[in-house]
Each structure stands twice: as structure tokens, then as C-alpha cells.
Amino acid sequence: MKLPDFTYHRPDTLGGALELLDELGDDAKVLAGGQSLLPVLALRMNAVPNLVDIARIPELGEIEVGAEGITIGAGVRHAQAEVSPVVAEHAPLIAGALPYVGHRAIRNRGTVCGSLAHADPSAELPAVALALDARMIVAGSDGERTVPAEDFFQGVFTADLSETELLRAVHVPAWSPRAGWSVRELSRRHGDFAIVGLACAVELDEDGSYAKAALSYFGVAGRPTRVAEAEAALIGRKPGQEVHAEAAGIVSGVLEPAADLHGTSAYRKHIAGVLAKQCLAEAAGRAADRAGQNGAGV
């Protein structure tokens, strides 16, 4: 369908973008990759009088690495992050999730921060950000604020972003030498939104038992959801089939996914448990490999 009418702005700087948002407020939406926004406009599900294109602002286009972790700017495309050696080394859960995001052409235009700001409960990257305890760097004309992932994703397509703010970057804490990851999802076709998906990140202790675990589900609620009870049950215990099955049982008991035409609630609860077992096994294996490679011993 053809898009509704709007005025297009392309500021050259972040400051310019924020000035425009101050001026236009509710009458403007931020455009980066447009791979979620343009379909919404094309389907006439929404209309907005102004689009502020930030995709070509140079200061937003970088992936920066520091001692504390990596920072992915608002202009970074999925495809860029997918092939970035920095992301592969310091945030492999992101690199591992990206092949599930849409299709190649979508990833060439869409942005990591755009996906986070869009806050689709069935999307991979919000769940990944939650699993990694990522911090969102939100910019407004009066300064910046940092929002932890668990507070940022508030509900269906609802993020902690006011109409005069934009998500400038996402900061991902440094990846420990004994960390592992796994992402799995169930969908009808490759590239479809998940019926149920899991982004899993773990860290092992020197003796090989779980020091940290994140089980971050997407497609099961109005926002990405971690199952704290299942995570807690893993701490201090060594990876193994029984331990993982126990965690999976807790997950299936705790989650209450809504039913829809793709699956009943019971089916989704069951799949969530299955994914927990698969992902924990894979993540623990990767953690052990990484520990071995780093001489960190496990």
C-alpha cells in the first residue's frame, strides 16, 4: 500500500535531530532502518506528519569497544553487527541472534537500536538485550539517561522513550572469559516472528558450575521475559541433563503465554521448556569452550 503523506527531515547531527523532536514532539517519529516503521505506515496502521531520518548521522554509526563492554550506535545496521568481529568477540549472543532477524534484505537496512526501540514482544533483539543486562542510552535535548533493559521494555511496542527522545545507543557489558550463549526459536517459516523463542546467556565458575544464567524468552508475553526462578535454580550447580530438565520444568510452570492461532498456551509452555533444555546445553558447551580457549580453566 502507498504510504500516507508526511514531511521528511534529515538532520546532520544528533543535536539537530533532538531539536526537531523537541519542536515536533508527538507529530514526529524517528526513522533509522525503517524496516518496522515503514510497514506500519504502508499498512496504514499508523500515520505521522513528520519523519526524522537519523540513519546517516555519522556520530551514531559506530560500534565502540571499551574495557567495560561494547556500545552499538543507533545507525548500526543489523548486517553490520552480524559481520562485526567486535560483536562476535564481545557480544556473541547478538551475533548469534541476528541470523534469525527477518531476512538478508531486512538486515541490510534495519538497525539494532531500531529493533530495540520498536519493542516487539516477539522480536529477538529485545530478549537478547534483556539476557545481557544491556543498558539503553536514551538521548534528549537536555541530556542523556541510561535505562537498564529490564526497565526499558515496558509492553507491546512500548519502550521507555518519550516523544522528544531517541535511543542513541545500546551498551552491552563485557563478555566474561567463561561465558556462553544460545538462541533458538520456533517459527512457522524461517524468518517469521517467533511463536516462542529463547535467548540464553550463561557464565561458569572456575569449577564449571553456573555462576550466572539468563533465560530470556520472546513471544511469550507482552515484553521479553526472564524466568528468575529457573535461573536461580541453576546457580552453583554443574550443567547437565537433569539440572537443565529441572530448570525447564520451572519455566513451563511459571510462564503463562497467551494462546493465538499459532499455538495454545499449553503448547507454548511446553516449547519454552524444550528450548530451555536445548539452549542451556548449547550455552554451557560454548562457555566451557571459551573458558578453555582463554586458559580460564573449567
Partner 1 sequence: MSTDMHKITLTVNGTDHTVEVAARRHLADVLREELGLTGTHLGCEHGVCGACTVAVDGQATRSCLVLAVQVDGSEVTTIEGLTEADGSMGLIQRAMWEKHAFQCAFCAPGVMMSVSTMLADNPAPTPEEIKEGLSGNLCRCTGYHSILEGVNEVVAKMREGESANGAAGA
Q: Which residues bind partner 1 (CB under 8 A)?
A: 1-8, 10, 31, 34-35, 38-39, 42-43, 49, 51, 53, 55, 79, 99, 102-106, 108-109, 189-191
Closer CB to partner 1, 160 or 192, in the complex: 192
Question: Which lies closer to partner 1 via its Cβ, residue 1 or residue 67?
Answer: 1
DSSP state of 175: P
End-to-end CA, the chain: 56
| Residue 204 Rama label (left phi>0; alpha psi -120 to 50; beta) | beta
Task: Tell me how far CA of residue 38 lies from CA of 42, 138, 211, in angstroms.
Answer: 6, 22, 42
Residue 47 neighbours by CB under 8 Å, 6+ apart: 4, 6, 41
- Least gap, CB of 18 to partner 1 (angstroms): 20
In the complex, the smallest distance separating the C-beta of residue 35 from partner 1, rounded to whole angstroms, is 6
Alpha helices in 73-177 (DSSP H): 78-83, 85-90, 92-97, 104-109, 112-118, 124-131, 149-152
Burial level of 6, CB count in 10 A (0-12/13-18/19+)?
Answer: middle
| DSSP-derived secondary structure letter, 239 | -
The alpha-helical segments, DSSP class H, found in the chain are 14-24, 37-42, 78-83, 85-90, 92-97, 104-109, 112-118, 124-131, 149-152, 228-234, 241-254, 265-293
Pick 191 or 292: Cβ nearer partner 1? 191
- Which residue, 123 or 213, is less far from partner 1 as judged by CB? 123
Which phi and psi angles does 186 have, rounded to 5°?
-110, 125
| Secondary structure (DSSP) of 20-35 | HHHHHGGGEEEESS-T
5 or 242, CB closer to partner 1?
A: 5
Instruction: Name the CA dihedral angle for 179, 185, 42, 152, rounded to a multiple of 10 degrees.
Output: -40
99 vs 177 by CB, closer to partner 1:
99
Indicate the residue among 42 and 235 with the shorter CB distance to partner 1: 42
CA neighbor of 203 nearest in space, from 237, 177, 241: 177
Closest distance of CB 40 from partner 1, Å:
9
Report in angstroms how near the CB of residue 84 gets to partner 1 at its nearest: 15
Let me know the angle formed at the C-alpha of 117 by 116 and 118, rounded to the nearest 5 degrees: 90
Beta carbon nearer to partner 1, 39 or 285: 39
